[in-house]
Amino acid sequence: MQTDWLYIGIMLVVAPTFAILALIIPRILAPHKPSKLKSETYECGIQTVGDTWVQFKAQYYNFALIFLIFDVEIVFLFPWAIAYRQLPLFGVIEGILFILILVAGLIYAWKKGLLEWS
């Protein structure tokens, strides 16, 4: 068990290191002649107008809210799925009721028009 997580821990260090190596090698090999023109923002050829990091309307924030609810509830379903083999039919039906409540939420959001792109 601990060995398993040790392997994951090492992997999460080594894998980005490989990628970082691929960024360091060009530092040594590649030419480096920065100029003001070169390091400007490339949008369409002429100079860029206005800031980029402004308040931006994410039209899908309703979807993001529904996503949060669903994601949390699905994490609750994983213990049920693992215990499934030991559960009697009644336990399975209880789990299904939980899913149906989830479906009711989805239908409610749908009827309210939250799933329409505007």
Q: Which residues of this protein are in contact with other proteins, per CB under 8 A? A: 1, 3-8, 10-12, 14-20, 22-23, 25-27, 29-34, 36, 38-44, 48, 52-53, 56, 58, 60, 63-64, 66-67, 70-71, 74, 77-78, 81-82, 84-85, 87, 89, 92, 95-96, 99-100, 102-103, 106, 110, 115, 117
Shortest reach from residue 102's CB to other proteins, in Å: 7
CA–CA gap between residue 98 and residue 87 (Å, rounded): 15
Shortest reach from residue 49's CB to other proteins, in Å: 9
CA–CA gap between residue 94 and residue 30 (Å, rounded): 62
Torsion sign over Cα 63, 65, 68, 70:
negative
Shortest reach from residue 19's CB to other proteins, in Å: 4
> What letter does residue 39 receive in the DSSP assignment?
T
**Phi-psi domain of 22 (left: phi exceeds 0; alpha: psi -120 through 50; beta: other):** alpha
